[in-house]
Amino acid sequence: MTTIENDKVAYVTYTGTFPDTGEVFDSNVGGEPLQFLVGHGNMIQGFEQEMLGASEGDTREFTLTPDNAYGHHRDEAIQDVPRSQFPEEVDVEQALQDEIPLAAYDEHGRPMQFKISAIDGDIVKVDFNHPMAGKTLHFSVNVVSIRDAVPEELEHGHAHGPGGHHH
């Protein structure tokens, strides 16, 4: 029987909740299954670990501490940036008030999301912590189907096709 293991492509539906409040933060139940290539760093580590060995039709429930999910909140990830460094079209007051996520690029050109956590005169406090940092997350995951990855997917390190990666 096919189970979730490295180099398989898994299709799952899931609901993520905060265990302390029961609030749903994400779910794709009733929509397209999430598709991912297992063992290539496409998912948070704890999620994949908990799903290894599951078969089609299985449902797994698990809770991930920040260590196994999005890491801990780090004070170093909050930085003071002079207001003059923001492009003119960015309304920092609005972004603070509406908690609008903004993006910057690191030295490798990778996008980094951040939000503005405070404004003090000409200094804008910018928070690069992942929005899920420091949070314990509960997941209920149903395995819809599992298939072998094709060589091209293994080469690229991600799943292709509907619900997956497009080129």
Measured from the CB atom, the residue of 69 and 159 that comes closer to Zn ion is 159
Smallest separation, CB 10 to Zn ion (Å): 17
Residues 6+ apart with CB under 8 A from 103: 111, 112, 113, 114
Which residue in this structure is represented by tokens 């996520």? Answer: 101
Smallest separation, CB 159 to Zn ion (Å): 8
Measured from the CB atom, the residue of 82 and 157 that comes closer to Zn ion is 157
Smallest separation, CB 164 to Zn ion (Å): 8
**By the rule CB under 5 A, 40 interacts with Zn ion:** no
Please list every residue from 103 through 162 that binds Zn ion, using CB under 5 A: 156
Number of residues near Zn ion (by CB under 5 A): 2
Measured from the CB atom, the residue of 73 and 165 that comes closer to Zn ion is 165
Measured from the CB atom, the residue of 115 and 165 that comes closer to Zn ion is 165
Smallest separation, CB 114 to Zn ion (Å): 28
Q: How far apart are CA 55 and CA 41, in angstroms?
A: 20
Measured from the CB atom, the residue of 73 and 156 that comes closer to Zn ion is 156
Binding site for Zn ion (CB under 5 A): 156, 165
